[in-house]
Amino acid sequence: MTDHARIHRLAEAVRCFLTPGDAYREQLCAETEAMSADTMAAGLDASLANWDETGIAALCSEEALYMQDGVKPELAAVVLGGVLPPSHIQAIAYPYLLGAEVIVKHSSADPLFPNLLANALGDGVTVMGRLGFGGVLSRADAVVAVGDDDSILAIQREVAVATPFLGFGHRTAIDLVCGSILARSPSVAAEVAKDISLFDQLGCLSPREVLVIGTPEDAAILAQGIAEHMEDLLPRRILNISIEAAIRGTREVARAMGRVVLGPEDLQWGITVEEEGQWTGTPGGRQVIVRSLSKLGHIPDALAPIQGHLSAVGVAGGDLDPATQRSLIRLGASRIVPVGTLQAAPPTWPHDGRRPLASLCRWCGLG
């Protein structure tokens, strides 16, 4: 199959999940256990719009500059964790676009989507569970893994040191609102609420904290604006008992400490307002902290607890100054984009700061 044919086939497969009424999209939305059908549909629409033929071709064109004389993999193993279609598409697409035979071990939490995607592609991708996957890692000449950090490290221990390996572990995102005027803007509040609610906050591009460069009053006003949009959301699925208990526990602690806490008693969503201090995050489930910082220069200290785990930053306030950009990149950010677009990562995204196709190739010095 030619490079162009692979690009076209992948774009057509992704389009199935964007097209209302398509059998693949309808089955995914109806049968997913991680979230409601409407939440899945909204997440697909927001996250996959850039995965068309033009966007995928741009990835291949950009990566070609870094792959000159590189040897592409012939057999790639992909180990999936989590339940979000965008991360699974990325993990499968990278070796697929290089022409490799792709063998996928589906997540125990989601065998559905990888199988649907493989069927939509037609051939080139085989999906299986734990049974049957034994030995694939040792035979593969490239490996992609998605999961929590412990899972990634465990998989990497089964792979030869010289084998190209892309591991995408635990990450989180933030929204950054710069200034009093923007903190008090209804449109900014709406975009932040969108970032928080898409995919029920399950992915690495979902913010668990919103940093407001301004006063505590600015943060409180933004929190109220976000709450007005969260109230309009359809109910989320109940998470496992430990997460729901953690949500209730953190809310009760915040109230005991005198924090402003917004949200219904059924825990469908929640907002806690904090002043200065360091990132603590939330257990998820549409729960977020809105934290005021008096200066941009306080960001590195505020985010120190997630050093190396920051995935992306949504910004309200235009382009950040170079020093702030560099500090965010050193913290791990590989996407700095306008608020409301965190989930819309294009194929060209250097996921976790790496070249997604070139990183799976090998080079050899000759002569």
**Does residue 364 belong to any structural domain of this protein?**
no
- Is residue 138 domain-shared with residue 176, that is, in the same domain? no
d(CA 138, CA 338): 42
- Is residue 193 domain-shared with residue 263, that is, in the same domain? yes
pLDDT greater than 90 at residue 131: no
- Residue 50's pLDDT is 97
Last residue of a domain, one of 112, 139, 170: 170
**Does residue 361 belong to any structural domain of this protein?**
no
pLDDT digits (tens, 9 = 90+) for 220-266: 999 999 999 999 988 898 888 999 999 999 999 999 999 999 999 99
- Is residue 105 domain-shared with residue 176, that is, in the same domain? no
**Does residue 301 belong to any structural domain of this protein?**
yes
Last residue of a domain, one of 136, 170, 204: 170
- Residue 40's pLDDT is 96
**Does residue 362 belong to any structural domain of this protein?**
no
Query: Could you give the percent of the chain with pLDDT greater than 70?
Result: 100
- Residue 114's pLDDT is 97
- Residue 366's pLDDT is 84
- Residue 238's pLDDT is 87
- Is residue 64 domain-shared with residue 195, that is, in the same domain? no
**Does residue 359 belong to any structural domain of this protein?**
no
Last residue of a domain, one of 116, 139, 170: 170
**Does residue 366 belong to any structural domain of this protein?**
no
Full domain range(s) for residue 137: 3-170
pLDDT bucket at 367, cuts 50 / 70 / 90: confident
- Is residue 101 domain-shared with residue 182, that is, in the same domain? no
**Does residue 226 belong to any structural domain of this protein?**
yes
**Does residue 210 belong to any structural domain of this protein?**
yes
CATH number assigned to the domain comprising residue 39: 3.40.605.10
d(CA 25, CA 278): 40
Q: How many domains does the chain have?
A: 2
- Is residue 122 domain-shared with residue 206, that is, in the same domain? no
pLDDT digits (tens, 9 = 90+) for 25-70: 999 999 999 899 999 999 999 999 999 999 999 999 999 999 998 9
- Is residue 239 domain-shared with residue 118, that is, in the same domain? no
Query: Could you give the percent of the chain with pLDDT greater than 90?
Result: 93
d(CA 156, CA 159): 5
- DSSP E strands: which ranges in the chain? 75-79, 101-105, 125-128, 142-146, 165-168, 172-178, 207-213, 260-262, 270-275, 287-293, 310-316, 335-338
